[in-house]
Amino acid sequence: MVCSIGRLYAKVNDYAGDNYYTQNQGLANSQWYGQGAEILRLNGRVSTEEYNNAYQGLDTQGNPLRQRQSGKKYNPGRDITLSAPKSVSLLGLIKEDKVVIEAHREAVKTTLSYIEQNCIFTRTGKGGANQIQTDNALFAIFQHDDNRNKDPQLHSHCVIFNQTQAADGKWRTMDNRELYQQKMTIGMVYHHELGRGLQTLGYELDWNRDGTFDIRGYSQSQLREFSTRKQEIEQAVGQGANAATKARACTTTRKSKIHQAESERKELKLRWQQRAEQLEIKHPEANYQHQQVTNLKDKSKLVIEATEIVSERQVAFARHILIKESLRQSQGSYSLEDIEREINQNKSLVKIKDGRLTTQTAIDREKQILHLTKNSKDRYLPLANTEIAKHQAQKLGLNKVQASALEYFVNNRDGVILCQGDAGVGKTYTVKALKETISSDVNMRGLAPSASAASELSKGADINSQTLDAYLNIPIKSLPKNELIVVDEAGMISSTQMKNLLERCEQTNSRILLIGDIKQLAAVQAGSPFALLQEKAKLPTIRIDKNVRQQNVQLKKVVDLLSTGEIRQGYEKLNEQGSIKQIPIDSLRLKAVVNDYLERDIKTQPQTLILAGTNKEKDAITKQIRQRLIEQGKLSQESQPINILKPKDLDKFSLTQVSSYEIGDVIKFGHTTARFSKDLYYRVDVIYKNTGTLTLRDNLNHKQNLELNTYKDRTVFKSETRQLRIGEQMKFTRNHYQNQQKQINGQQFTVLGFDKHGQIEIKTKGKTQTVNPDALLYSDYRYVDTVHSSQGKTANYCIYAAGSGKSLTVGKESFYVAASRAKHEFKVYTASTKALGLSVEKSRGQENALSLVMKQQIDRQLSTPSREQEFKLLVAAKYLVESQGKPETQNPQIKSYRASDGTEIKRDRDSLTISHKGQELKFDRDNATVKNTFSATHLEQQIKARTNEMQQHLKLTRTQTQSRTISR
Please give the pLDDT value at position 233: 54
Type of residue at 210: D
Please give the pLDDT value at position 570: 94
Does one domain contain both 47 and 155? yes
Query: Is residue 967 very low, low, confident or very high in pLDDT (cuts 50, 70, 90)?
Result: very low
Does one domain contain both 167 and 245? yes
At 610-657, the pLDDT tens digits run 999 888 999 999 999 999 999 999 999 999 999 999 999 999 999 999
Kindly give, in sequence order, each residue whose CB lies less than 8 Å from that of residue 864, ignoring residues fewer than 6 positions away. none
DSSP 254: P
- Is 239 contained in some domain? yes
Question: 741: which strand partners?
Answer: 738
- Total number of domains in the chain: 7
Report in angstroms the alpha-carbon separations of 830 from 202, 561, 585, 683, 801.
52, 21, 9, 41, 6
d(CA 200, CA 126): 50
d(CA 613, CA 616): 9
pLDDT reading at 960 higher than 50: no
Give the CA count within 13 Å in the CB-facing half-sphere of 763. Answer: 9
Could you tell me where the beta strands, DSSP code E, fall in 189-276? 205-207, 213-215
Kindly give, in sequence order, each residue whose CB lies less than 8 Å from that of residue 838, ignoring residues fewer than 6 positions away. 805
d(CA 487, CA 416): 11
Listed residues 492, 513, 543: the one ending a domain: 543
- Is 726 contained in some domain? no
Residue 796: exposed, middle, or buried by beta-carbon count in 10 A (0-12, 13-18, 19+)? middle
Least confident range of 41-50, 229-238, 511-520, 738-747: 229-238
SS3 of the chain: helix, strand, coil, percent, to 5: 40, 20, 40
Mean pLDDT of the 399-407 span: 95
Does one domain contain both 792 and 695? no
d(CA 164, CA 36): 7
SS3 at position 823: strand
d(CA 649, CA 736): 18
- Is 350 contained in some domain? yes
Whether residue 204 contacts residue 183, with contact meaning beta carbons closer than 8 Å, is answered with no
Query: Closest Cα to residue 689, out of 32, 61, 55, 218?
Result: 218
- Is 291 contained in some domain? no
Query: Closest Cα to residue 454, out of 735, 89, 863, 146?
Result: 735
Whether residue 787 contacts residue 799, with contact meaning beta carbons closer than 8 Å, is answered with no
**In terms of pLDDT, which residue wins out, 419 or 917?**
419
Neighbours of 393 (CB within 10 A): 21
β-sheet with 541-544: strand ranges across? 465-467, 443-448, 483-487, 511-516, 416-421, 541-544
pLDDT reading at 800 higher than 70: yes
Please give the pLDDT value at position 920: 80
Whether residue 94 contacts residue 277, with contact meaning beta carbons closer than 8 Å, is answered with no
Please give the pLDDT value at position 411: 94
SS3 at position 950: helix
Least confident range of 123-137, 674-688, 899-913: 899-913
Listed residues 719, 747, 767: the one ending a domain: 719
d(CA 192, CA 185): 10
**In terms of pLDDT, which residue wins out, 947 or 339?**
339
Whether residue 749 contacts residue 778, with contact meaning beta carbons closer than 8 Å, is answered with no
Does one domain contain both 29 and 170? yes
DSSP 773: G
Residue 8, H or E segment: none
At 725-777, the pLDDT tens digits run 999 999 999 988 776 778 888 899 999 999 988 999 999 989 999 999 999 99
Type of residue at 133: Q
- Is 153 contained in some domain? yes
Please give the pLDDT value at position 24: 41
Least confident range of 110-124, 660-674, 804-818, 846-860: 846-860
Q: Which domain holds residue 603?
A: 549-638+778-844
Give the CA count within 13 Å in the CB-facing half-sphere of 663. Answer: 5
Whether residue 306 contacts residue 331, with contact meaning beta carbons closer than 8 Å, is answered with no
The separation between CA 526 and the C-alpha centre of its own chain, rounded to angstroms, equals: 11
Please give the pLDDT value at position 948: 63
At 429-455, the pLDDT tens digits run 999 999 999 988 899 999 999 988 998
Whether residue 828 contacts residue 580, with contact meaning beta carbons closer than 8 Å, is answered with yes
SS3 at position 684: strand
Residue 110, H or E segment: helix 98-118
Over the Cα atoms of the chain, what is R_g? 32
Does one domain contain both 246 and 346? no
**In terms of pLDDT, which residue wins out, 921 or 99?**
99
d(CA 119, CA 135): 8
Whether residue 150 contacts residue 256, with contact meaning beta carbons closer than 8 Å, is answered with no
Rounded to a whole number of angstroms, the distance between the first and last alpha carbons of the chain is 48
Does one domain contain both 176 and 58? yes
Query: Is residue 964 very low, low, confident or very high in pLDDT (cuts 50, 70, 90)?
Result: very low
Helix 864-883, helix 956-963: angle, nearest 10: 90
- Is 709 contained in some domain? yes
At 204-218, the pLDDT tens digits run 999 999 999 999 999
Type of residue at 639: S
Strand 164-165 relative to strand 121-124: parallel, antiparallel, unpaired?
Answer: unpaired
Helices (H), 424-566: 427-437, 451-461, 468-472, 495-508, 529-535, 553-563
Kindly give, in sequence order, each residue whose CB lies less than 8 Å from that of residue 951, ignoring residues fewer than 6 positions away. none
Mean pLDDT of the 706-733 span: 96
CATH code of the domain covering residue 404:
3.40.50.300
d(CA 273, CA 899): 89
Query: Is residue 932 very low, low, confident or very high in pLDDT (cuts 50, 70, 90)?
Result: confident
Sign of CA dihedral 570, 572, 577, 582: positive
d(CA 116, CA 160): 10
SS3 at position 27: helix
Please give the pLDDT value at position 890: 43
> 0.85 cut: is pTM over it?
no
d(CA 547, CA 820): 10
d(CA 641, CA 135): 59
Does one domain contain both 709 and 836? no
d(CA 433, CA 397): 10
What is the percent of the chain where pLDDT is above 70? 85
Does one domain contain both 413 and 522? yes
Residue 728: exposed, middle, or buried by beta-carbon count in 10 A (0-12, 13-18, 19+)? buried
Listed residues 248, 278, 308: the one ending a domain: 278
At 150-161, the pLDDT tens digits run 899 999 999 999
pLDDT reading at 256 higher than 60: no
**In terms of pLDDT, which residue wins out, 195 or 234?**
195
- Is 228 contained in some domain? yes
Sign of CA dihedral 595, 598, 600, 601: negative
pLDDT reading at 781 higher than 50: yes
Does one domain contain both 176 and 189? yes
Please give the pLDDT value at position 944: 63
Residue 253, H or E segment: none
What is the percent of the chain where pLDDT is above 90? 68
Query: Closest Cα to residue 850, out of 385, 365, 199?
Result: 365
Whole-number average pLDDT of the chain? 87
At 840-877, the pLDDT tens digits run 999 988 999 988 887 665 445 444 444 555 556 666 66
Please give the pLDDT value at position 947: 61
Please give the pLDDT value at position 108: 98
Q: What are phi and psi of 205, to 5 degrees?
A: -120, 150
d(CA 687, CA 665): 11
Does one domain contain both 661 and 634? no
Does one domain contain both 761 and 714? no
Please give the pLDDT value at position 828: 96
- Is 231 contained in some domain? yes
Least confident range of 1-5, 497-501, 894-898: 894-898
Does one domain contain both 696 and 791? no
Give the CA count within 13 Å in the CB-facing half-sphere of 482. Answer: 6
Mean pLDDT of the 586-605 span: 95
Whether residue 768 contacts residue 755, with contact meaning beta carbons closer than 8 Å, is answered with no
SS3 at position 385: coil
Query: Closest Cα to residue 511, out of 487, 527, 533, 534?
Result: 487
Helices (H), 22-97: 35-39, 48-55, 86-89
Neighbours of 356 (CB within 10 A): 18
CATH code of the domain covering residue 672:
2.30.30
Kindly give, in sequence order, each residue whose CB lies less than 8 Å from that of residue 251, ignoring residues fewer than 6 positions away. none
Kindly give, in sequence order, each residue whose CB lies less than 8 Å from that of residue 568, ignoring residues fewer than 6 positions away. 837, 841
Q: What are phi and psi of 183, to 5 degrees?
A: -55, -45
